[in-house]
Structure 1
């Protein structure tokens, strides 16, 4: 039985004004994480643990995580497991510290995710799609010993609990090969499972993500003979995912994203604001699959760049091994630098075995 988890978010809030500076000295004016790659040791096993997603924001969070793992079957097939991630990143008063403090991580593994059904085949790629709430509150809880003031939210955090329950109209999307090919499915809040409208009998469809700014759905498919990223433009912008994601008549609107086409395979897209992250073995990788990012401009998506180009020296997000399934946890506050945490999986040396889960701070330059 999955224990009930509550997501709480407490953020350092910036003091302004001469009086506050006079009283308290150099107060934090930004939030940054010490550069480094941090293994989610409490979730990782000697087998494969990857495809992780969690709810925003990443600062002092107590969050439910869903991820794919073959640990229970000792490497035989993948199911969706759950875990609990607690991350505390203290404020960074960069006027008086040489470097940001390290994050405090606590990770626990809980077991099978009951909201996504068990199938005879492999089940991977869990993704929550839900209509964002219109935030009407502030975060105003303190980080001792600093006094704080409230900042407005730009988005309401997902109200996680131990069952992974989503707001009305929300669905969990996942892929399964229980009918032969890897295809996408959705399960709504009533527990009904339906196939994605873009599934085809002659190809594999995996890893869905949604661009809430432009109302576009992205996913990976090998219908061209290799994995590439495809897009569906959601005309009208309906966020009733449980309704339209299963409408077969929409399949004619699927198109390849030409900006991302390469001679290699490109999978696991994830949209956050004006960036689209992906895993690819295209030319220019350090080895196997690497993480890439495309930044949106007024002319559309730019050519993908290896994410390692943006990382600080000696912080190796990409390695000679494989890096896969990037996802971003964003802070979501107005008028405060948005610390973003990148979560991904890798089979790099030094892990517990197979694919393991990792987090790192995303550099400010990725904008």
Structure 2
């Protein structure tokens, strides 16, 4: 009887163990090969990504000229879930359907306020320490692209009902693609400043000198960023040293890495993607991401996200009109090293 019980217990443990997945891969890895974001792409143009993490899901906001939204670029959002299979090492992205939560409802309301008959590009969002959710983007309603701001407050009194157009440079120039950075600041997808540092600088592009260059503006200590951005008198933009004699465009900063697009000589064709790191108080000389990521077509508006201990590398998303896509510009993703 004793031996039968022992055999039965052994069999049960064997069966139970077989019901649980085998952990072969303790950490995930975003693919080193450029991969199409098929669940987002259409035969039209999809560009310019921003992410917001909500309870294991991610709200992806991007520009699209899909005809349902008119013959122009609007900002649209989709809730995406992604998972890493520790048994076989596969990474899965899927669109989340069904009931939406309060976060996605508020974002839909915010995008409804933002979208109009003009082109909306370059979304960038962050949460301030006071709880306000700030959405930056560019709009060309006046014939030139200007950076605009929409703020959802924690109370209706704090919310700005209209989209404020911001002007940092000369009146006859385009200004686009705002992003924030600072020594201790990292845009961690819907974490407030008080949780991961306060932004110290605003970065954007302008063609004030006839071509697109990357500029930065100091944000004074102790001020609310969204309030500071409304005061034109405070702005003293200066060019970054990484600019070239060509177009340097569509920058985004994540931690101490700056990624951008440029059509400078020495690339693989059209706009290529480059990166620079912030070291010893300055940006290092830009490095081309190489033929693993760039092509003979245009690669544009890169953004970097998801520095997490469960993944070995970072996730970079960008748009490209390379052959093999669904049409026009498509969104792609690829893994890049953390350091």
Deviation at 1:107, TM superposition (A): 3.5
Residue 195 (structure 2) pairs with residue 221 (structure 1) = no
CA contact (8 A) 2:169 2:208 kept: no
Q: How many residues align?
A: 288
Q: 5 Å matches for 1:32-71? A: 32-56=29-53, 61-71=56-66
Question: What's 2:234 paired with?
Answer: 250
Write out the 4+ residue segments of structure 1 that deviate beyond 6 Å after TM superposition.
none
Does residue 328 in structure 1 map to residue 298 in structure 2?
no
RMSD between aligned residues:
2.9
2:315 is the counterpart of 1:341? yes
Matched residue, 1:350: 324
CA distance, structure 1, for counterparts of residue 182 and residue 312 of structure 2: 18
Segments of structure 2 that go 5 or more residues without pairing to the other structure are 1-21, 98-103, 153-158, 185-199
- 2:139 is matched with 176
Alignment of 1:259-278 (within 5 A): 259-278=241-260
The answer to whether the aligner puts 1:303 opposite 2:285 as a matched pair is yes
Aligned to 1:208: 178
Partner of 1:360: 334
Question: 2:30–2:311: 8 Å Cα contact kept in structure 1?
Answer: no
The 3 A distance-change label for structure 1 pair 106 and 299 is same
Are residue 185 (structure 1) and residue 165 (structure 2) matched?
A: no
CA distance in 1, matches of 2:170, 2:132: 25
Extract unaligned runs of 5+ from structure 1: 1-24, 93-99, 133-166, 310-315
> In the alignment, which residue of structure 2 is the partner of 1:131?
128
Could you say which residue in structure 1 is the equivalent of 2:268? 286
If each structure's helix is expressed as a fraction of its own residues, which one has the higher value? 2
What secondary structure, in the 3-state scheme, does the structure 2 residue paired with 1:115 have?
helix
Tell me how far 1:120 sits from its aligned partner.
2.5
Shift of 1:35: 2.5
- Tell me which structure has the larger Cα radius of gyration: 2
